[in-house]
Amino acid sequence: MFKEAKDGPVKAITANRLGDGLVVFLTENGAWTRNLAEARLIADGEALEEALVYGRAQHDARVVIDPYAIDVTTDGEDPQPIRLRERIRADLGPTVAYGDAERAALAARAAPKGG
Amino acid sequence: MYRYDEFDAAFVHERVEQFRGQVVRRLSGELTEEQFRPLRLMNGVYLQLHAYMLRVAIPYGTLNSGQMRGLAHVARTYDRGYGHFTTRQNVQFNWPALKDIPDLLDDLAKVEMHAIQTSGNCIRNVTADHFAGAAADEIVDPRPYAEILRQWSSLHPEFSFLPRKFKIAVTGAPRDRAATQVHDIGIHAVRGDDGRLGFSIYVGGGLGRTPMIAHRIRDFLPAEHLLSYVEAILRVYNLFGRRDNKYKARIKILVHETGADEIRRQVEAEWERIRDGVLSLPADEIRRIEAYFAPPPLEPQASDGLAGARAKDPVLDLWVDQNTVAHRVAGHAVATISLKPVGGTPGDATADQMDAVAALADRYSHGEIRVSHEQNLILPHVREDDLPELHAALADLGLATPNAGLITDSICCPGLDYCALANARSIPIAQEISERFAEPARQREIGDLKIKISGCINACGHHHVGNIGILGVEKKGEEFYQLLLGGSGDETASIGDIIGRGFAGDEIVGAVETVVDTYLEHRSGPDETFLAAYRRLGQEPFKEALYGGG
Ligand code: SF4
């Protein structure tokens, strides 16, 4: 299993939403967002501990499942998770096309050129 | 066909209602996640990276067209319009919302499907040769025996809490297409000297953290004793399998630590006690179950149009050559529908494709479909003269890739794109390999070559038994891939050798190409497959090519 992030400059709290299982991030006002750019970024230390306690309470209150902290960089414009696993989660889906979008992309590629 | 009998119907209905209540109680807070997790897992519901995932059982990989339409309906109504066929002949949906799953299961029950025993430490879906009931080389259709095992194992009170999960595979042909020797129990049909039907029994195979090839503990078990013998194996395992350490709890570890001879002795001793009891299978009971799998009424016939059509159309010719095999009834073929388009996700099919395959099965294959552990679909009973039409229809659907058994027909687990346990992605690696080797002539020149890719040591992608196996690991936060060579899941099963240090994500496909080029350079001729050449040559030339001398 992946360990919770312990160090690094900034953290965000993430979880999966109970009702549909989708990835969410904790916001400044204690709600949950699908968009990491809207997440609360927390420095290590007491604030992080408090946020995790809050997250745990949200788990108990059946809003989300298993919240944990992730390392985030803010070098670019928007915050980005450092680990690939978390980047894939924050992108809200696989790194490959799927379903009808994949099918359409493959069909476009297979279509004879100029036809 | 598999007969979902009244018992199944009542039971599944009851289970769906029970689960509906559990979901309501979970959403209302009466059940904590800790209490709910084992309940949802018992109903095939996992929590993955992005969402819940539902795994639906496809007993021994056999589906009828109505069931395929049911899966299409589920994909469209409750998911994002697609599903993923797995290496255990099951199907997974990646995005269902928890609150919808009871309705989803209700809809599945209408087509006689369910998700029970797709998780947990029980006897899982029994798998079988995907050409069952059709292949020309078959001694017996393995599915009636798989079904007998399914009925016996479904909710068997003694075996619902085994030390660990338990997987059984059955094959009815000399050619092992069901990877029986890497299962907890592998069952391989054989004919005795007197022509009687029986089974060779293999025990203790498995992949994952500690890959092992099963030991044959009985050469010939008369068919009527199948259940009592399997029960004896399960009893020995249930009693002596380790429960203290999850990583040592599979029967392969018990067989390894105890020794195959001692396990054989224990099983035989237990079997002697129960062999003629309630579990012996009377011939009329076997016949009753066999009747569920009665073959469609196929008349042997000479094909008159196929050769001409092939001569005119090289694309059709290639597909027929690569994706069809001989049927046991003359003038018919078993057709593989590749779910491995170049650049696509191995094993995925959209809802529209599922519906279309169902229609093609009705039209050309007596409504029958199979799912292979190699993550393809099969139409088992097609008239040879219908192959041109079938091929044209499949081509329109993007389902006519002529690559069955070739290097681009990789099997591949979901990996870090979906799976919460993954260390690295596997789908993009499979896609890059299929693009690198896309050229049909090149694939054909390389010939039979199975690539198998897993995103972590759990080995859902069977990398240990890939002729070329790829295992994703995480190294210093980066994706990294180990390369294994020489594995095989067939009747000559072997575990691949880790060939040396691993490769970064942008190097691994190049390394595969180096291995393939080395094979082409050293093979004795086009008839020597990659596996045969590797077995003859050993690791050295491949190591040399990959890592240089010194
Ligand atoms: S092998 Fe690992 S990464 Fe792949 S599906 Fe299995 S558990 Fe997930």
Q: Which two tokens stand for residue B107?
A: 């809809």
Q: Phi-psi category of B56—alpha, beta or left, where left has phi over 0 and alpha has psi -120 to 50? A: beta
Q: Which residues of A touch B85 (CB under 8 A)?
A: none
Q: pLDDT band for position B247 (50/70/90)?
A: confident
Q: What is the fold of B6-110?
A: Sulfite Reductase Hemoprotein; domain 2 (3.90.480)
Contact A106 B341 (CB under 8 A): yes
Q: Quick: pLDDT tens for B367-396.
A: 999 999 999 999 999 999 999 999 999 999
pLDDT one-digit tens code per residue, B34-79 = 999 989 998 999 999 999 999 999 999 999 999 999 999 999 999 9
Q: Which amino acid is at A10?
A: V
Token pair listed for B485: 């060579």
From the CA of B129, how many Å to the nearest CA of chain A? 28
- Using one digit for the tens of pLDDT, what is the confidence trace for A37-88? 999 999 989 999 999 999 999 999 999 999 999 999 987 678 999 999 999 9
Atom of ligand 1 nearest to the CA of B461: 1
Contacts of B352 in chain A (CB under 8 A): 100, 103
Position with higher pLDDT, B303 vs B84: B84
Q: Is B70 on the interface with A (CB under 8 A)?
A: no
A108–chain B Cβ distance below 8 A for any pair: no
Residue of A nearest to B45 (CA): A21
CA B422 to ligand 1: nearest atom: 3
Q: Does B347 touch chain A (CB under 8 A)?
A: no
CA pair distance B94, B416, nearest whole angstrom: 13
Q: Which residue has the higher pLDDT, B281 or B325?
A: B325
Band of the pLDDT at B525, cuts 50, 70, 90?
Answer: very high
B428–A96 C-beta distance less than 8 A = yes
Taking CA atoms, B4 is separated from A9, B10, B114, in Å, by: 57, 10, 11
Task: Put residue B204 in one of left, alpha, beta given phi > 0 → left and psi -120 to 50 → alpha.
Answer: left
> Does any domain span residue A59?
yes
Interface contact A96-B97, CB threshold 8 A: no
Ligand 1 surroundings by CB, under 6 angstroms? B 413-415, 419, 421-422, 454-456, 458-461
CATH number belonging to domain B411-547: 3.30.413.10
Chain A interface includes B47 (CB < 8 A): yes
In 3D space, the residue among B400, B501, B488, B503 whose CA is nearest the CA of residue B448 turns out to be B488
Distance, in Å, from the CA atom of B55 to the CA atom of B126, rounded to the nearest integer, reads 14
pLDDT confidence band for B163 (50 / 70 / 90): confident
Distance, CA A86 to ligand 1 centroid (Å)? Answer: 17
Total structural domains within chain A: 1
Q: Among A85, A92, A102, select the one facing B345 at the smallest CB separation.
A: A102
Domain containing residue A91: 10-110
- In the predicted structure, residue A112 carries a pLDDT above the cut 70: no
Mean residue pLDDT of chain A comes to 89
* Interface contact flag, B416 A66, Cβ < 8 Å: no
Residue B155: band (very low, low, confident or very high) from pLDDT cuts 50, 70, 90: low
Asked if B1 and B64 count as a contact pair (C-beta separation under 8 A), the reply is yes
Classified by CATH at the fold level, domain B306-397 comes out as Sulfite Reductase Hemoprotein; domain 2 (3.90.480)
Annotated domain spans of chain B = 6-110, 135-292, 306-397, 411-547
> Which of B272, B159, B115, B193 is CA-nearest to residue B185?
B159
Q: Does A1 map to a domain? A: no
**CB within 8 Å: B344 and A106:** yes
What's the whole-number mean pLDDT along residues A1-21?
Answer: 75
ipTM of the complex: 0.91
Q: B490 and B509 in contact (C-beta within 8 Å)? A: no
Q: What is the CATH number of domain B135-292?
A: 3.30.413.10
Q: Which residues 76-95 of A have a C-beta within 8 angstroms of B?
A: 82-85, 88-89, 92-95
Residues A99, B29: C-beta atoms closer than 8 Å:
no
pLDDT band at A114 (very low <50, low <70, confident <90, very high): very low
